[in-house]
Amino acid sequence: MKSKSLFIKYKEPSLTGRYIPFESVASLIIKYSNLASVQLEGYSEERRKLHSITIGTGKFKILMWSQMHGNETTTTKSIFDLLNFLISEGNLQEQILDNCTLKILPMLNPDGAIRYTRENANKVDLNRDAQDKSQSETKVLFDVFYAFKPDLCLNMHDQRSIFSAGNTEKSAVISFLAPAADESKSITGSRAFAMQLIASMNEKLQTLIPNQVGRYDDRFNINCVGDSFQSLGVPTILFEAGHYPGDYQREKTREFIFNSLMTLLELISTKDALLPEIQNYMTIPENKKLFFDIIIRGAKISNKSEQVDIAIQFEEKFLNDKLQFIPKVYEIGDLSNYFAHQNFLANGRSVYSSGSPIIQNNQTISDLSIENEKISII
């Protein structure tokens, strides 16, 4: 069956959009308690339950966690899509489960998830807490890591819509990283293996989203969980779900994460599988911050004589029990070296928001128009 058909068949229908509340995952945990091994691993700072789901009986052990940052939900959706596939019958499912054991923490930061914040309830970034282990959620992750003794760790995240795949007008729909294990960024054995696995996933993705895969910055930070696990000699891969054109709910990106995980598991569970060269990982272009959500080019504004470009970025806020994308002016000036997910040409005309001219950074935008021509933005 083709990858798209697989995704459609196994997509978890109860999880959609960008806001995934704790209750949605908690109800799925109950569902999987009858289909896999579900274990209470501990509690968040606000005493929400942190469960793991373990499936498979194979020797190769994979530890996977998502929503370490509460507002990064795409990979949580993909994980449950993957679980739906794994609990169904089929030769590939059997192959994977006979050769691998997966332990999954599907929402490591439920307190942040409820608030739709990166940080946890104590406003701590869990991905900078790997050494201090000051937070309950970090302690749970490390306790599971040491008890499970994984052969591979998958650290699942979302990245902002600002990233391009290299210096190109292609957004980074997915980015990967084999984190450094030390300050000198040595290619240790564990890091080399992670690089090869990423190269394999990239080969598949190039058939689906050509030139839209990026490589994340590999500066070493021992306070980051991935760097910390890599430094302990355990191959670790960072997944970053990014922006596919027009897909602010990240439903298309969800599909590509699912396909990447399928590629990874099939490779690992295939006897005598050939791994790509490390150099194939190095050829993946490094992420650059070259995108805005919107650029209005060649606008006239009252306090400048020359034409300028206006960059607008969406600020994600959870307000009135709803996730809202609030457009704000991010930069005004010459933006000819930047790209946008939506471009508009002003051609020397004035730009207005709610009848007033756009004149400053951080200005909230609504009812956007160029002269009398209204512009439709999401």
CB 145 within 8 A of CB 230: no
| pTM score | 0.96
Residue with the two structure tokens 């990245």: 159
Q: What is the pLDDT of residue 334?
A: 95
Per-residue confidence (pLDDT) for residue 367, from 0 to 100: 85
Tell me the domain boundaries of the chain: 3-289, 292-374
- Residues (pLDDT < 50) of the chain are none
Candidate CATH numbers 3.40.50.1100, 3.40.630.10, 3.90.79.10, 3.40.50.280; the one for domain 3-289: 3.40.630.10
- pLDDT of amino acid 321: 86
Q: What topology is assigned to 292-374 in CATH?
A: Urease, subunit C; domain 1 (2.30.40)
304-311 LR contacts (CB < 8 Å, sep 24+): 304/332, 307/346, 307/348, 308/332, 308/333, 308/334, 309/333, 309/334, 309/335, 309/336, 309/338, 310/351, 310/358, 311/335, 311/338, 311/340
Write down the pLDDT at residue 5.
86
Which one, of 255, 243, 274, 206, lies nearest residue 3 by Cα?
255
